A and B are shown apart, each in its own frame.
Chain A
Amino acid sequence: MTLPLTLISGYLGAGKTTFINGLLGSANREHARIVVLVNDFGDVAIDAALISSITTDMISLINGCACCLVNDDLERQLSNLVEAGQYDQVVFEASGVADSAKLLRQLRHFPGLTVSTHLTLVDLSVIQRQVRDKFVGEHIQRQLMLARDIVETKADLLDERQQALVRQWLVLGYPAVELHTMAAISTGVVLGELTGELTGELTNELKAVTEDSSTVKATHPDFKSYRFRGSQRQTKDHLMAWLDKLPPNVQRVKGFVWLLDDPRPHLLNYTPGCASISAYDGVLPAILEDSVLANSDLVAIAVHNGGQDKQLQQPF
């Protein structure tokens, strides 16, 4: 039995603490013994006070030193949690400037732990300004680029027309994300099987790339996207092993695959440390829906990084 971990990331002010409060308030108290890890700076107690403590504990992480790794509280606390075995679920509120890709890599293969969900919270009312911010703009762009499931917050600060414009901007600019509203995301989803609930489809932009298996289309100057297509069914184990061996600069893989031992199409979703392949019942693009052709189609997003992505050139 591994301990599931839900990673909640998002910049300062995106509403992570409020979101976690809501989550804890509605969690099934008889079944979920939840521990919240908070990594924050300066005035952590204010955040801590907001987190209700009826069925939960909260652990505030100490920030390690700036220039070496001799002090890593996250690793220490997680080891303690896994060993203690007294919780059913970890909710980890990452600091606003945490590199979530790096965090996920650290959590991947952590003995006794599974990253069950990774949500990125986005304050809809300020996100377009934040991505241009002198100091954190690039970080926030990357956060969006690498996010898998985005939960929008503070939409009520905008009127409906503005909301629609920002959502459209998000979906067009960051095609690999799934956008969720606060209202539509249930506690069960956040703490469990999020992937089963997805109704995503490949966006137009992703369809537009050419047929080659290693075609690159730049969606952002610092990123490359790779397209993988094939018509050979695979085993789930084979695909998982392939994902496991991806070079570290691959931050995101998403798409549809057909498995050898299952008649249904499957949705594959990967961020470092968090991979899933699950049966998909939604509407598929025409080219993928034929089970005889069994066309698989994946897009991978990698940080632009010299020679490290050679491995990606090989078909899966």
Chain B
Amino acid sequence: MITVYTAKNILTMNPSWPTATAIAVKDGRIVEVGSLASLQPWLEQHPHRIDAQFEDSVIMPGLIDPHLHPVMAAVLLPMQFITAMEWHLPWETVPATVSPQAYESILRKAAAEDDSTPYFTWGYHKIWHGEMSRGLLDEIFGSRPAVVWQRSFHEVYLNSAMMALLEIDIEAIRGRHQIDVDRGHFYEVGLSYVINKLNRIIMAPAWILAGLARLKQLVQFGGHTTVGDMAVGIFDFEMEWRLCQQVFEQPDNPFRVVSVAHANGSGVRQDDLATTVEFVRNLPERNTAHFEFGQRIKLFTDGAFFSQLAMMQSPGYIDGHLGEWLMPPEKFETIARAYWHAGFKIHVHCTGDLGCELALDVLEKLQWERPRFNHGYTIEHFGFSTPEQVDRIKLLGGSVSANVYYLRELSGAYSQVGIGVERASQMARLQSCVGQNILTTLHSDFPMAPAMPLHNAWVACTRQNIEGNVVAPQERLSLEDGLKAITINAAKVLGIQEETGSLRAGKKADFVVLDSDPHIVGVDGLLTITVLATVFEGQVHITPGLS
């Protein structure tokens, strides 16, 4: 049976056949894209039905986020969001909370609930929410254990009840670096101490499963039909794989997960490098309907962008601190070489321009040793870069998967405290990449940034930061390139472009259904478009909360 979906407009993202008004689907695949009239040769010979439920809406290829972290997200998602910026979540829209009074009143409301289980909130930031302390939390929550997690993930505040629950010996840790026991404040290396105790709660299978169930809603809500898990093994490979299977491998799951193993992940790394490569090579044997591995691997050069541990070329950071290598550069090269010669597509986490330089120097050596075309070597995150590095990415055949949200949230801050206006403004140098025909896509790195591809495309097309400034407007993408970045280009970066990413005969029937046409509402309208539904392999999933 063929099902024909009609729509006000269909953006196919197939440049040779760009728009349509009807799309015919059989057994989860597209048989033809066109109009009711042009589909007749198919419809005359096959039983079919016309489904007009989207006739006033706009259909696009299902959106793709090629880089997020499901299990890390699952740690966060069971917590209550109280944030300085509005968050759209499937189960609630979290309003912007921008005063200490408003913040405190939300905490008091939570404390008033008849619940004695540990309370967790995420999103606190001193600039907006005022001073936080153990004393304040004790006063608000009394005997209920409570944890306030700072927006960057690098700080927590605990109340006395939580400290008692975790059996923290206050006097034994008094004076430890980056721990203020009196205020219940644990940050940076001090967080390492308390996190190992908190992990009893937030890494417990029940907590992770609850978080993954929320992630499932959130991925659908964003209009995705494919996401990439860009580092399985970040905590523990087998645990992550098992829990993700449990949650995502359901007949009604509205998306697929393309998984890439973390080269140094716990449970990925074997006794020696050759054995590890063999282990990763055999991972596709585990593939199931919604969860698949390919011949891909995730490597890392430099440290976290949010912690200013990106490795920077001269002149570095204003305060003179250095970033961090996540592994010695020679080790990075050794591991990359092993996977390159084994024919893998290599995804390299790079945040700073020196991190990018290392990734490109190594790629250049590997191309000299064994030239490859279509090798899929991808610069992931692409925080800071130079125009000359973009030239080299082109010459060496690399791709770019950018976390464009960095510029939204951090370009203003890093101009002042970080690296100065010139370089901070040029984060995510995307138009330079697109202008050189480099395969370029966008990702959220969720939970680092919201998993909302249309919002991400808006950031890439406007380059407007939270302060309202447009930074390096020369690097804005056109609307069309912004849309390509969250559909067909994302599919190419994950190697699934024959299956999804655009709407054409033969591909999986993966759509997103929108309430308005990006070409009509334009770049500014990307922020207000509502995802009405997704269709995954021919199955309709109405966005939760809308029906």
Footprint of B on A, CB under 8 Å?
A: 11-13, 41-46, 62-63, 65-72, 74-76, 79, 95-97, 99, 102, 105-106, 108-112, 134-136, 138-139, 142, 222, 244, 248, 272-273, 303-306
Interface presence of B300 (CB below 8 A) = yes
User: Quick one: closest A residue to B199, CB to CB?
Assistant: A70
**Bound: A41/B329 CA distance, A:** 11
Instruction: Determine which of A46, A76, A304 lies in contact with B196 in the assembled complex, contact meaning CB atoms within 8 Å.
Output: A76
Residue in B192, B322, B329 with the greatest tally of chain A CB atoms within 10 Å: B192
Interface presence of B177 (CB below 8 A) = yes
User: Quick one: closest A residue to B193, CB to CB?
Assistant: A75
Contact with A along B187-222 (1 / 0, CB 8 A): 011011101100100110000000000000000000
Interface presence of B175 (CB below 8 A) = yes
Interface of chain A: mostly helix, strand, loop or mixed: loop
**Bound: A135/B361 CA distance, A:** 11
Interface presence of B415 (CB below 8 A) = no
| A-side contacts of B72, CB under 8 Å | 65, 68, 70
**Bound: A42/B195 CA distance, A:** 25
User: Quick one: closest A residue to B301, CB to CB?
Assistant: A135
Interface presence of B173 (CB below 8 A) = yes
Residue in B172, B188, B325 with the greatest tally of chain A CB atoms within 10 Å: B325
Contact, CB under 8 Å: B445 / A63: no
Contact, CB under 8 Å: A45 / B334: no
Instruction: Determine which of A42, A45, A244 lies in contact with B264 in the assembled complex, contact meaning CB atoms within 8 Å.
Output: A42
Interface presence of B231 (CB below 8 A) = yes
Contact, CB under 8 Å: A68 / B354: no
Interface presence of B330 (CB below 8 A) = yes
Given A42-B269, A68-B154, verify A248-B192 contact (CB < 8 Å): no
**Bound: A142/B321 CA distance, A:** 10
Interface of chain B: mostly helix, strand, loop or mixed: loop
**Bound: A2/B173 CA distance, A:** 14
| B-side contacts of A42, CB under 8 Å | 263-264, 269, 273, 276, 327, 331, 334-335
| B-side contacts of A134, CB under 8 Å | 357
| A-side contacts of B176, CB under 8 Å | 108-110
Contact, CB under 8 Å: A74 / B192: yes
| A-side contacts of B199, CB under 8 Å | 70
**Bound: A79/B175 CA distance, A:** 17
Given A46-B272, A136-B328, A303-B320, verify A105-B189 contact (CB < 8 Å): yes
**Bound: A86/B264 CA distance, A:** 29
Contact with A along B340-384 (1 / 0, CB 8 A): 000000000100001001100000000000000000000000000
Contact, CB under 8 Å: A106 / B327: no
Contact, CB under 8 Å: A63 / B173: no
Contact, CB under 8 Å: B328 / A63: no
| A-side contacts of B327, CB under 8 Å | 41-42, 63, 95, 97
Contact, CB under 8 Å: A68 / B177: no
| B-side contacts of A68, CB under 8 Å | 72, 153-154, 304
Contact, CB under 8 Å: B324 / A97: yes
Contact, CB under 8 Å: A43 / B322: no
| B-side contacts of A96, CB under 8 Å | 328, 331
**Bound: A273/B269 CA distance, A:** 32
Contact, CB under 8 Å: B272 / A69: no
| A-side contacts of B175, CB under 8 Å | 109, 244
B485 to chain A, nearest CB (A): 22
Contact, CB under 8 Å: A67 / B272: no
Contact, CB under 8 Å: B325 / A135: yes
Interface presence of B120 (CB below 8 A) = no
B162 to chain A, nearest CB (A): 17
Contact, CB under 8 Å: B325 / A136: yes
| A-side contacts of B173, CB under 8 Å | 109, 111
**Bound: A136/B269 CA distance, A:** 25
**Bound: A35/B322 CA distance, A:** 31
Contact, CB under 8 Å: B448 / A305: no
| B-side contacts of A65, CB under 8 Å | 72, 231, 234-235
Contact, CB under 8 Å: B303 / A12: no
Contact, CB under 8 Å: A70 / B177: no
User: Quick one: closest B residue to A245, CB to CB?
Assistant: B175
B483 to chain A, nearest CB (A): 27
Contact, CB under 8 Å: A69 / B192: yes
List the 7 closest pairs (A to B, CB-CB), nearest first: A72-B192, A106-B189, A111-B172, A109-B176, A75-B192, A45-B271, A97-B325
Contact, CB under 8 Å: A95 / B328: yes
Interface presence of B241 (CB below 8 A) = no
B5 to chain A, nearest CB (A): 39
| A-side contacts of B44, CB under 8 Å | none
Contact with A along B29-40 (1 / 0, CB 8 A): 000000000000
